[in-house]
Structure 1
Amino acid sequence: MASSPISPPPAELEISRQSRILAALSKKLIDLDELRMLAAQGVPDGAGVRSTVWKLLLGYLPNDRALWEQELTKKRSEYAAFKEEFLSNTVGRSCATRGLEGHGEENEELVDNGLLRRSEITQEEHPLSFGKTSEWNQFAEYSEMMEQVDRDVKRTHPDMHFFCGDSSFAKSNQESLKNVLIIFAKLNAGIRYVQGMNEILAPLFFVFRNDPDSKNANFAEADSFFCFVELLSGFRDNFCQKLDNSAVGIRGTLCKLSQLLAKYDRELQHHLEVTTEVNPQFYAFRWITLLLTQEFNFADTIHIWDTLLSDPDGRQETLLRICCAMLILIRKRLLAGDFTANLKLLQSYPPTNIGHLLYVANKLQ
């Protein structure tokens, strides 16, 4: 079927959008409002511009191009310092060393036989101490977190050679993901590492590691860390267990999704939550906390994130609109389904046209 004169073929639209984004990026002072508007419609896969666009959308790069090199050098150096500080563990040695400090010749004998007198070991230095400030207890928690991060990273997109496999490239990428997640956890004691954060980090690292500029690609780990921190800052309340039952926690967010669906499709909201008793927490908990990374293939997730990252002040609102659009797009099947059918459908969302999904989401203003 011939294309309408007023509806250019997708290839022409792609070229036009790419040229407009390239023009926006070429300015000395980048108009972020213009860039957000263009990126919200999708960033073309060609020309390797997505890496730069995402860094601008997340505030990692300033809008003044003249400051880019200075800012990148500063941030990458800061990340190197984080790695030096947080990716080495000397708890056992530090505890033993402190126990021996200041005891002169007497400790020479203690070192020789490898024993410390009971009087020399404080409560907080005792290996069996459960005190929160006990370094041994902190070491145990740290080791447990490390194991969880390692397990999750190895499960990240097992179908992609970029993330999984025995190649040195895949193993190097896994190591970078682990480094970022561990440093984030150490710097954010109130949240630490929450299972699934690896899935949120993965698209960022993939895009930055595939930057055609080799220098940028080589610093993908550092760049991903700061962009990951910025992205999560808008969703951190969903990961804080203490806020789970508050208006700003994950339950409050799920309630907002229910209210949004009721605003635009009361019949569907009633059928899901009253008639079939399929509440948002049964399916949308994963949608929201993992930013839709598990509901679509990786390429589609990247395109969804072009839109998601384009709203600096309301990324959560944008995410909720996309979730609501997902429900509306399959409303006929949901209205015809019972609890079992609807739950299965929502927990394994069917393939869909991402462009149409984002178009519907944009209409929910």
Structure 2
Amino acid sequence: MASSPRSPQPAELEISRQSRILAALSKKVIDLDELRMLAAQGVPDGAGVRSTVWKLLLGYLPKDRALWEQELAKKRSQYEAFKDEFLPNTHSEMIEQVDRDVKRTHPDIHFFCGDSSFAKSNQDSLRNILIIFAKLNAGIRYVQGMNEILAPLFFVFRNDPDYKNANFAEADSFFCFVELLSGLRDNFCQKLDNSAVGIRGTLFKLSQLLKKYDGELQHHLEITTEVNPQFYAFRWITLLLTQEFNFADIIHIWDTLLSDPDGPQETLLRICCAMLILVRKRLLAGDFSSNLKLLQSYPPTNIGHLLYVANKLQ
């Protein structure tokens, strides 16, 4: 009797995904739909291409590879001009806030924190980007927490195996940060807080999504124990889950978030909903204080499984 075929091992799947992503990136004109589909499953760390993939997903790199060099040179030169214009700055309340937040960014990671010249130069880059962004976007300026959204972008770009790209991580991060925030600005714009498109509208969408997929849990959480989404999901949503998981897991979650052609918001809401469903037993057994504590300090979880569950909520 023939033996049943062996299911592929995780390492084999990783190599297979790696080769598919490398093949997708080697095309003269990148098929973004294909790249999104592959990246949504996670960009293999070993491929050394996450930096390029994210730049494509965020529209920073054009689909036509022949245009990359020219486009990058143009953008990087433009960023230098921004630095010349906006960084000879006087002290202000906003700059002090940026300084405070940059120093607090991932204090447990040497890349961002510590006394090394490398960490200090990385902090300087974060600071420069946030100040220039604030000065160019008077409608939003700087909002506390933007440093947390910038950090994964800068980390990935600064760690590009191609040192030529790594050296321009600050400029590249700036433009990708602008692009990412353009899809999220409603969550940061205080004027819109109470509107259907502001953060409250987004929190309501999360509540409705949970109601659709797990009405019992939604009722227990919000009606019985009165744990409203703004008590825990405000941070999840505005900071794109950067405070809820370890940094390596955040990077993997962002592979999926950035793969959404309509911007990260809908995928983000599905992941938030999946986070609730994955701890439903504990939530259903909990009261206000235990549920709030659980959701404000989300337990370690298998990120692959979380993303799998989130993907089913479509």
TM-score range relative to shorter protein:
over 0.9
- Residues 3 and 9 in structure 1, CA contact (< 8 A), matched pair in contact too: no
For residue 142 of structure 1, give the secondary structure of its aligned residue in structure 2. Answer: coil
Shift of 1:312: 2.2
After superposition, the CA RMSD in angstroms is 2.0
Deviations 1:58-84 (A, max 9, x none): 000001000000000000000000000
5 Å-filtered alignment, 1:193-272, equals: 193-272=142-221
Shift of 1:7: 3.4
| TM-score normalised by the chain length of structure 1 | 0.83
5 Å-filtered alignment, 1:40-55, equals: 40-55=40-55
Partners of 1:48 and 1:297 in 2: how far apart? 20
Shift of 1:8: 1.4
Q: Which runs of 4+ in 1 moved over 2 A?
A: 1-7
For residue 165 of structure 1, give the secondary structure of its aligned residue in structure 2. Answer: coil
Shift of 1:2: 17
In structure 2, the CA distance between the partners of 1:263 and 1:218, relative to structure 1 (3 Å rule), is same
Shift of 1:158: 0.5
Shift of 1:3: 14
| TM-score normalised by the chain length of structure 2 | 0.97
For residue 218 of structure 2, give the secondary structure of its aligned residue in structure 1. Answer: helix
In structure 2, the CA distance between the partners of 1:240 and 1:3, relative to structure 1 (3 Å rule), is farther
Partners of 1:320 and 1:7 in 2: how far apart? 32
Shift of 1:315: 1.6
Deviations 1:210-242 (A, max 9, x none): 001111000000000000000011110000000
Deviations 1:6-44 (A, max 9, x none): 631111110000000000000001100000000000000
Partners of 1:298 and 1:195 in 2: how far apart? 19
Task: Report which of the two structures shows the higher radius of gyration computed on alpha carbons.
Answer: 1
Deviations 1:335-359 (A, max 9, x none): 0000000000000000000000000
In structure 2, the CA distance between the partners of 1:279 and 1:5, relative to structure 1 (3 Å rule), is farther
Partners of 1:355 and 1:193 in 2: how far apart? 33
Deviations 1:316-346 (A, max 9, x none): 0010000000000000000000000000000
Partners of 1:63 and 1:279 in 2: how far apart? 42
In structure 2, the CA distance between the partners of 1:236 and 1:6, relative to structure 1 (3 Å rule), is farther
Which residue of structure 1 aligns with residue 121 of structure 2? 172
Shift of 1:47: 2.5
In structure 2, the CA distance between the partners of 1:3 and 1:171, relative to structure 1 (3 Å rule), is farther
For residue 91 of structure 2, give the secondary structure of its aligned residue in structure 1. Answer: helix
Q: 1:281 aligns with which of 224, 230, 240?
A: 230
Deviations 1:96-117 (A, max 9, x none): xxxxxxxxxxxxxxxxxxxxxx
Point out where structure 2 has 5 or more consecutive residues left out of the alignment: none
Partners of 1:142 and 1:264 in 2: how far apart? 50
Shift of 1:297: 0.2
Q: 2:99 aligns with which of 150, 155, 161?
A: 150
How many residues in Structure 1 have an aligned counterpart in Structure 2?
311
Percentage identity across aligned positions? 92
Partners of 1:51 and 1:196 in 2: how far apart? 22
Deviations 1:124-178 (A, max 9, x none): xxxxxxxxxxxxxxxxx96101000001000101111100011100000000000
- Residues 39 and 306 in structure 1, CA contact (< 8 A), matched pair in contact too: yes
In structure 2, the CA distance between the partners of 1:180 and 1:3, relative to structure 1 (3 Å rule), is farther
Shift of 1:201: 0.3
In structure 2, the CA distance between the partners of 1:3 and 1:324, relative to structure 1 (3 Å rule), is farther
Q: 1:362 aligns with which of 298, 311, 314?
A: 311
In structure 2, the CA distance between the partners of 1:142 and 1:193, relative to structure 1 (3 Å rule), is farther
